[in-house]
Structure 1
Amino acid sequence: MESMPNPSMGRDDKLHIVMFPWLAFGHMTPFLEFFKLIAQKVKLQLPQVDKLFDNAKSTIDLPYDDVKYLKMAYDQLQQPMTQLLADMAPDWVIYDFAPY
């Protein structure tokens, strides 16, 4: 993950930010540049759940009635995300939530 200088920190210190949006383009788009940086450095594998298409990575990949399965997979990222945040120790975490 890329770091940005923080004016309140010393010159050698960097501010670390993590962003984790709900998997819908209307949620991801406002954070797109942050998301690109994170995606280049941090890989979280979306867990497979029954009835979720193998290639489904966002709400656009699914009929509305099947989005609940994406949410189930997203919820299963709790432990991997907790570990990722513990490993990265970011200064800020910007997150979004699923509206379901």
Structure 2
Amino acid sequence: MADQTPKLHIAMLPWPAFGHMIPFLDLAKNIAQKGHWVSYLATPRNIQRLPKLPPYLADSITFVQLLLHNDNSLPENAEATMDIPPHNMLDLKRAYHGVQEDVAQFLENSTPDWIIYDIFAYWLPPIAADKDKNSAYSYKA
């Protein structure tokens, strides 16, 4: 008898540091191996620098590109903590917070069942709750 368990769509949004992105990718692979579909949200350059997916998982993990909103305070091509000196960390945080509209648009179009996010995306729960008015989840700030 075939497995009749409904498969989930899980969205993942890590902080743009490889110490966060690699464990998120490992978790995405484990989730995908269980038959679920994962949308991994990251910047284009960070997606390119992640380890390649095994071919058997390529259809189960989709990389969604988010553009950082750099106000020219970050060095050119800086998309992760490894690309910047420590004094630019606040600039990276501001640029990362600028992806909120893109994430909201993704949630509007994709409606994932679960969202796994990093601590730096503290702004995500109210956006997700707003997109899913019928959800049992309610967020109170």
Normalised to the residue count of structure 2, the TM-score between the two structures is: 0.56
Q: Is 1:38 matched up with 2:69? A: no
Counterpart Cα distance in 1 of 2:23 and 2:4: 22
Look up the SS of the partner of 1:83 in the other structure. helix
| Percent identity for Structure 1 against Structure 2 | 43
Bigger Cα displacement from structure 2, 45-54 vs 28-37: 28-37
Shift in CA distance, 60/87, structure 1 to aligned 2, threshold 3 Å? same
Per chain length, whose mean CA-contact separation is higher, i.e. which structure has more relative contact order (CA < 8 Å, sep 6+)?
Answer: 1
- Greater CA radius of gyration, 1 or 2? 2
Provide the residue aligned with 2:95 in structure 1: 73
Q: Give the number of the structure whose residues are more often strand, by fraction.
A: 2
Look up the SS of the partner of 1:17 in the other structure. strand
User: Which residue identity lines up with residue 22 of structure 1 in the other structure?
Assistant: W
Provide the residue aligned with 2:115 in structure 1: 93
Report how far residue 94 of structure 1 moved.
Answer: 0.3
1:30-89: CA deviation from partner (whole Å, max 9, x where unpaired): 1124346332xx221112223111210100001111011111110111111011111110
Provide the residue aligned with 1:59 in structure 2: 81
Q: Is 1:24 matched up with 2:24? A: no
Report how far residue 6 of structure 1 moved.
Answer: 7.9
Counterpart Cα distance in 2 of 1:91 and 1:61: 33
Q: How many residues align?
A: 88
Question: Aligned-residue CA RMSD in angstroms?
Answer: 2.2
